[in-house]
Amino acid sequence: MEKSKKMQISVIGSGYVGLVAATCLAELGHHVMCVDVDSAKIDALNAGETLIHEDCLQELLSRHRGIRLFFSTSIQAAARQSQVIFIAVGTPSAEDGSVNLSFVEAVARELAQSIDGYKVIVEKSTVPVYTSEWIQSTMTPKGRKQVEFDVVSNPEFLREGTAVTDFLYPDRIVVGVSTPRAAGMMREVYSSLIDGSYAQQASAVPKPERARMQPMYIETSPRSAELIKHSSNAFLALKISFINAVANFCEAVGADITEVSKGIGSDSRIGPEFFRAGIGYGGSCFPKDVAAFRAVTREFGFEFPLLDEIKRINEEQRARFIRKVSSALRTLKNKRLGVLGLAFKDGTDDVRESPAIKIIEQLLEEKCQIVAFDPVAMERARQILGNKITYAPDAYAAAEGADALLILTEWKEFTHLDLGHIKCLLRYPIVLDGRNIFSQAEMAQAGLTYHSIGRPSHEASHNLLKKGHIAR
Ligand code: UDX
Nearest atom (ligand 1) to Cα of 278: 30
Q: Which amino acid is at 55?
A: D
Buried b (16+ CB within 10 A) or exposed e, 285-310: bbbbbbbbbbbbbeeeeeeeeebeeb
CA 166 to ligand 1 centroid distance, Å = 13
Instruction: Please measure the distance between the N-terminal and C-terminal CA atoms of the chain and give it in whole angstroms.
Output: 67
Could you give the C-alpha distances from 133 to 61, 107, 228, 383, in angstroms and in order? 34, 15, 16, 38
Residue ranges of alpha helices (H) inside 254-377 are 257-265, 286-299, 305-329, 355-365
Cβ neighbours of residue 67 closer than 8 Å, sequence gap 6 or more: 26
Q: Whole-angstrom Cα distance, residue 212 to residue 208?
A: 9
Q: Whole-angstrom Cα distance, residue 463 to residue 102?
A: 55
Q: Whole-angstrom Cα distance, residue 167 to residue 85?
A: 17
Nearest atom (ligand 1) to Cα of 409: 25
Q: Whole-angstrom Cα distance, residue 116 to residue 96?
A: 38
How much is the pLDDT for 146?
A: 67
| Local structure of 416: helix, strand or coil | helix
C-alpha 278: how far from chain center:
16
Query: Which residues sit opposite 10 in a β-bridge?
Result: 33, 85
Q: Which amino acid is at 394?
A: D
How much is the pLDDT for 462?
A: 52
Q: Whole-angstrom Cα distance, residue 190 to residue 216?
A: 11
Q: How many residues does the chain have?
A: 472
How much is the pLDDT for 471?
A: 44
Q: Whole-angstrom Cα distance, residue 397 to residue 416?
A: 15
How much is the pLDDT for 472?
A: 39
How much is the pLDDT for 144?
A: 59
Could you give the C-alpha distances from 310 to 222, 244, 384, 446, in angstroms and in order? 26, 10, 26, 36
Contact 340, 432 (CB under 8 A): no
Buried b (16+ CB within 10 A) or exposed e, 386-405: eeebebbeebbebbbebbbb
Angle at 9 between CA 6 and CA 11, to 5 degrees: 145
Contact 112, 80 (CB under 8 A): no
Of 46, 51, 44, nearest in space to 33 by CA: 46
Nearest atom (ligand 1) to Cα of 239: 33
If one residue of 24, 274, 313 were mutated to test the ligand 1 pocket, choosing by the most ligand atoms within 8 A of its CB, it would be 274
> Residue 254 gets which letter from DSSP?
T
- CA dihedral in degrees (302, 306, 308, 311; nearest 10)? -140
Q: What is the mean pLDDT of each run of 10 residues along the chain (472 residues)?
A: 78 97 98 97 96 94 97 96 97 92 95 93 93 92 73 96 96 97 98 96 95 94 96 98 98 97 98 97 96 95 97 98 97 97 95 98 98 97 98 98 98 97 98 97 96 80 54 42
Residue nearest to atom 5 of ligand 1 (CA): 157
Angle between helix axes 102-114 and 131-139 (nearest 10 degrees) is: 40
Any residues with Cβ below 6 Å from ligand 1, and which?
Answer: 156-160, 233, 236, 240, 274-276, 278, 281-283, 285-286, 344-345
How much is the pLDDT for 433?
A: 98
How much is the pLDDT for 5?
A: 79
Contact 195, 218 (CB under 8 A): no
CA 218 to ligand 1 centroid distance, Å = 23
Active site residues: 285
Could you give the C-alpha distances from 255 to 243, 258, 456, in angstroms and in order? 13, 9, 7
Of 204, 314, 257, nearest in space to 455 by CA: 257
If one residue of 228, 246, 345 were mutated to test the ligand 1 pocket, choosing by the most ligand atoms within 8 A of its CB, it would be 345
Q: Whole-angstrom Cα distance, residue 124 to residue 127?
A: 8
